[in-house]
Structure 1
Amino acid sequence: MADKQAFFDYINNGYTTKGEFINLGAAMLDGETVKDAYVKVPLKTLNRHGLIAGATGTGKTKTLQIIAENLSEKGIPVLLMDIKGDLSGIAEPGTNNAKIEERHSAIGFPYEAKKFPAEILTLSDQEGVRLRATVSEFGPVLLSRILDLSDVQAGIVSVIFKYCDDNKMPLLDLKDFKKILQYTTDEGKDEFAEEYGRISSSSTGAILRKVVELEQQGADLFFGEKSFETDDLLRIDENGRGYINIIRLTDIQDRPKLFSTFMLSLLAEIYATFPEQGDSGRPELVIFIDEAHLIFNEASSALLNQIESIVKLIRSKGVGLYFVTQNPTDVPDAVLSQLGLKIQHALRAFTAKDRKAIKLTAENYPLSDYYKTDEVLTALGIGEALVSALNEKGIPTPLARTMLRAPMSRMDVLTDDELKDLLKTSKLIPKYNEVIDRESAYEMLTEKIEIANKEEAKEKAEKEKEAARNSTSSRSSSRRRSSSNPWIKTLSSPTVIRSVLGILGKLMK
């Protein structure tokens, strides 16, 4: 039995912070919660990214909810990916009960039910604020990586973007991009060959097939106007609390390409538009990516490299990324090494492979005199987790088996009526849900082709008229020449004709 007082001092010294922090709960020793031994994470290090992992049903989503609530209370906006559809309850207060009272009594502070300002966003036809981006904003490099194109194909995409820029043709949606792809090897092939070099129809055909594949996953709803402005993720309500923006993704679990397309676009736009933050002491925005394996499992090596680069760079913009998944091995090592806060819920060891995975997971955490990490990982209860964070100096905190506090908001979904009431109060729905289809590359190229076809038809008709005039003129000239020839005049005279007819009559007798 370890010394409880020594453990209390060990935790409090390890999690001491002079600045603002969020309180996750209290540390545990020998399966018992040590009251007031708080596990505190400084706001200063929350832009150093994090991981929430654990088997199904161990409480990952509730942990995500706890952190989001505490950030909102500190005036920090949050973006959540709600793939399972159980986070909308954040907009309504939770309900106290005996189990929650017992948990908070053991932790050392009372439970308080609260609701938080929330905005419902959507990538699809579900109700909520529509999220869109134009093809032009996506850019040739990002689009090529999403489509997993070869170097030659990526070069063609760059040329197409250059042509559209040179000719002031906006690429807004996939319809525009498909039209210009077809134009390069059909009606406009000579124009392209003269200015940019000849483009192979087999290459554009391969690109087009990749675009159709993306389109079938629902990307035609994502690409277009009006583009979502990332500044709208940074709103603060009248009480100084940050908005919790919840993206409803329940209908795209089987469309990982669309999910990764959206995530990469969003992160790239945030990195491009947010100012450098420096050492501000608190994050500007925190993003939670639930079911993170959906991004990494389907990603090409080029796409993974892009994600890894953004993860490394985006924290300088004051943005923290938190990946939520079942097993840390779902996240590439290059990304995992960038994560400062790690919250590990229970793992289950049903097979030899599971036991090996647990041993590997245990090695990701600091050594502790109080825990055998691989054993604790399989003994954690629901709402318990191993926590390792960074203190204000960027040094890893002691490993703490933690009894997590309960969410202050509802641990369930909104009813249909509650959701409708929430959407009615949205200030972003009127801004983004109007469908805009202004003149872009598709319309401009269609008009250009129509004009070219009309000119070609007109030129053809003029040639036909000219040919007809030449034919008529030729016949008239022939008749004039015949009438002026003296021999023809003599032979065609009535006298000669009558003589010939007379001779023929005699012969017939």
Structure 2
Amino acid sequence: MSKKDIFFKHITEGNTTKGDYIPIGAAMLEGETVTGAHIKIPLKTMNRHGLIAGATGTGKTKSLQVLAENLSNKGIPVLLMDIKGDLSGLAQPSPGHPKIDERHEKIGLPFEAKPFPVEILTLSEQDGVRLRATVSEFGPVLLSRILDLTETQSGIVAVIFQYCDDNKLPLLDLKDFKKILQYATQEGKAEFTEAYGRISTASTGAILRKIVEIEQQGGDLFFGETSFDTQDLLRIDDDGRGYINIMRLTDIQDKPKLFSTFMLSLLAEIYSTFPEQGDSDRPELILFIDEAHLIFNEASKALLNQIESIVKLIRSKGVGLYFVTQNPTDVPEAVLGQLGLKIQHALRAFTAKDRKAIKLTAQNYPDSEYYDTTEVLTSLGIGEALVSALDEKGRPTPLAATMMRAPMSRMDVLTDTELSALLSNSKLVKKYNKDVDRESAYEMLNEKIEQAQAEEAKEKARKEKEALKKAESKKRTSTRRKSTAMNPIVKVLTSATFIRSVFGILTKILKK
């Protein structure tokens, strides 16, 4: 057997699967595509998470697009974080190209141009389905971690939530939370001190400053109603294909705090609401997080710990997380160690630091007698990648330099007209894009404060009235005494001379 035939057997036997799978391309040997040596990703291990990495322009986004399309075809919903704004084309079919036909002929897979069911979501004022969550849904622990609070400040947040629970005060948006913080150290200080102990104004001031930081990044748009129901991410269209939910994040690239806040809240909500899947044959939902370094670079230690915990636990809910970034070192080692599928596009060695990073990256892949991994990483072309997956028993498949298949949908964005048409037909836009501002802690506390102020003003008026009444009574008494004292008859009758004369006459009469 030739080396090529031995390699073909090595790849095909290592990628044998009894269950359903996604074919993503064909293996390459010495720069040439081995037609029919298909690289397959078993659906059974798609919830083991993954990584798509590579330098700018090497084809990361197209690999993401290929995975999303094929998952949708298998009836598995997808959520994409679209940081660069180049994924909306999934809603339209590929226009095709001779180079695409040539690529698929080499791979040995037919090419079919087709659109996919797409829902456009947004965290900001961009067009799309508005995603929101209430402060109450975050809870004191998660909110404290997002705000990166100290232990003392976290304790105050817990007390605030407890007070709101005890007094039936809904915490919906950030203005509710700011209002209760102010109330705790001002109008309601005595009430809080009696029930929960003294709350430091310095601590509440520090918490307020953290909230302002979130607000400045657009958090006031995210916190509130109507809360997004994560079950709406699991929709299937009439043809049995999973919806591809595209989160438009082009306007929050410079707002990593808001991005990480949203991601953590979403993962926590999914983990708390999705049922346990056990050892399922297919995932329930797949999330692709583009520009993943935005989460990790700006995250606090507490936030990183929370993300790492969720990554470890959420796969039991049938949810797979796929991080898309330029370099694997952008992802913390604790998270990187949890990733089953790795699609590594080319890396560029322009500096000594780049070469060192490439050597470290090569160590993340299984050894192969067919590849010098370090060399291959710098010689891969556009749309080519090193792939290492897990088979149905959780074992790594043979490392393969892979010619990736082309997306079936358009590799470009939707026009404004196409986007408007897509949104006008969206059921979720009608469900979530209504502004709701029902009575909550802010309004209820203002009403309570107003009532207290009204009662205080009423009591003050009553006391002033009583004081005025007493003053008038005292004045009348003083006036009567003064007028009596000024009467000439009274003056004579009350004079000392008159009294002595009267007593003298009475004395004489009594002697007789």
> What TM-score do the two structures reach when normalised by structure 1?
0.95
Tell me which amino acid in the other structure corresponds to 2:311. Answer: V
* 2:112 paired with 1:112: yes
> Equivalent residues in 2 for 1:95-134 (5 A)?
95-134=95-134
Counterpart position of 1:29: 29
Counterpart position of 2:378: 378
Measured in 1, the distance between the counterparts of 2:209 and 2:479 equals 63
Measured in 2, the distance between the counterparts of 1:3 and 1:193 equals 80
Measured in 2, the distance between the counterparts of 1:62 and 1:408 equals 10
Measure how far apart 1:75 and its partner are: 0.2
Deviations 1:148-186 (A, max 9, x none): 100000100000000001000000000101101111101
Q: What secondary structure does 1:287 align onto?
A: strand
Q: What secondary structure does 1:139 align onto?
A: helix
Counterpart position of 2:469: 469
Counterpart position of 1:278: 278
Measured in 2, the distance between the counterparts of 1:232 and 1:251 equals 24
Aligned length: 496
Measured in 1, the distance between the counterparts of 2:2 and 2:161 equals 66
Any conservation in 2 of the 1:2–1:370 contact (CA below 8 Å)?
A: no
Tell me which amino acid in the other structure corresponds to 1:276. Answer: E
Measured in 2, the distance between the counterparts of 1:51 and 1:102 equals 27
Measure how far apart 1:490 and its partner are: 3.3
Counterpart position of 1:507: none
Any conservation in 2 of the 1:87–1:412 contact (CA below 8 Å)?
A: yes
> Equivalent residues in 2 for 1:282-297 (5 A)?
282-297=282-297
Measured in 1, the distance between the counterparts of 2:173 and 2:489 equals 76
Q: What secondary structure does 2:218 align onto?
A: helix
> What TM-score do the two structures reach when normalised by structure 2?
0.95
Measured in 2, the distance between the counterparts of 1:477 and 1:305 equals 79
> Equivalent residues in 2 for 1:361-376 (5 A)?
361-376=361-376
Deviations 1:193-252 (A, max 9, x none): 000001010100000000001100000000000000000000000000000000000000
Counterpart position of 1:404: 404
Counterpart position of 2:229: 229
Counterpart position of 1:424: 424
Tell me which amino acid in the other structure corresponds to 1:147. Answer: L
Any conservation in 1 of the 2:484–2:490 contact (CA below 8 Å)?
A: no
Evaluate the alpha carbon distance shift between residue 492 and residue 8 of structure 1 in structure 2; reply closer, same or farther with a 3 A threshold: farther
Evaluate the alpha carbon distance shift between residue 16 and residue 490 of structure 1 in structure 2; reply closer, same or farther with a 3 A threshold: same
Any conservation in 1 of the 2:485–2:491 contact (CA below 8 Å)?
A: no
Any conservation in 2 of the 1:53–1:344 contact (CA below 8 Å)?
A: yes
Question: Segments of 4+ in structure 1 off by > 2 A?
Answer: 477-493
Measure how far apart 1:279 and its partner are: 1.4
Measure how far apart 1:110 and its partner are: 1.8
Counterpart position of 2:191: 191
Counterpart position of 1:9: 9
Measured in 1, the distance between the counterparts of 2:407 and 2:315 equals 26
Deviations 1:415-456 (A, max 9, x none): 110111111110100100000000000000000000011111
Structure 2: where are the runs of 5+ without partners?
496-512
> Equivalent residues in 2 for 1:58-77 (5 A)?
58-77=58-77
Counterpart position of 2:387: 387
Structure 1: where are the runs of 5+ without partners?
496-509
User: Considering only aligned residues, what root-mean-square deviation do their CA atoms show, in Å?
Assistant: 1.7
> Equivalent residues in 2 for 1:85-484 (5 A)?
85-482=85-482
Measured in 1, the distance between the counterparts of 2:363 and 2:355 equals 13
Any conservation in 2 of the 1:482–1:488 contact (CA below 8 Å)?
A: no
Tell me which amino acid in the other structure corresponds to 1:104. Answer: H
Counterpart position of 1:504: none
Measure how far apart 1:492 and its partner are: 8.2
Measured in 2, the distance between the counterparts of 1:490 and 1:12 equals 132
Measured in 2, the distance between the counterparts of 1:160 and 1:361 equals 46
Measured in 2, the distance between the counterparts of 1:149 and 1:290 equals 28
Evaluate the alpha carbon distance shift between residue 289 and residue 492 of structure 1 in structure 2; reply closer, same or farther with a 3 A threshold: farther
Q: Indicate the percent of aligned positions where both proteins have the same amino acid.
A: 76
Measured in 2, the distance between the counterparts of 1:419 and 1:478 equals 87
Measured in 2, the distance between the counterparts of 1:460 and 1:37 equals 89
